[in-house]
Amino acid sequence: MDGAETDVPTSDAYSTSEDALGGATLARGGAGLFQTYRFVAEQDLRNGTLVEVLQA
C-alpha cells in the first residue's frame, strides 16, 4: 500500500466516544483494526490477544 489510505468496510457501526479504552475492547472481540498508543495495547500484544499489523 506504500502509505496510501484504504477504507475497510464493516458490517456494523461502532462508537467509543465515551470510553478511551473501548477501541481495544472492540479489537479484542474481533471488531477489526484499531489504532492506539502502545501502552494501551502492550499487555495484549505480549500475551497474543492482539497482534500488531501496521508497524511504523
Residue 47, domain member (yes or no):
yes
- For residues 49 and 18, give the distance between their C-alpha atoms in angstroms, rounded to a whole number: 23
Neighbours of 38 (CB within 10 A): 8
How many structural domains compose the chain? 1
Dump pLDDT digits (tens) for 4-43.
777 767 777 777 777 878 888 888 988 888 888 899 999 9
Residue 7, domain member (yes or no):
no
Residue 14, domain member (yes or no):
no
Residue 26, domain member (yes or no):
yes
Contacts of 19 (CB under 8 A, 6+ apart): 25
Domain residues for 45?
20-56
Q: CA-CA-CA-CA torsion for 36, 38, 40, 41, nearest 10 degrees? A: 90
Residue 12, domain member (yes or no):
no
Residue 55, domain member (yes or no):
yes
pLDDT on residue 2: 67
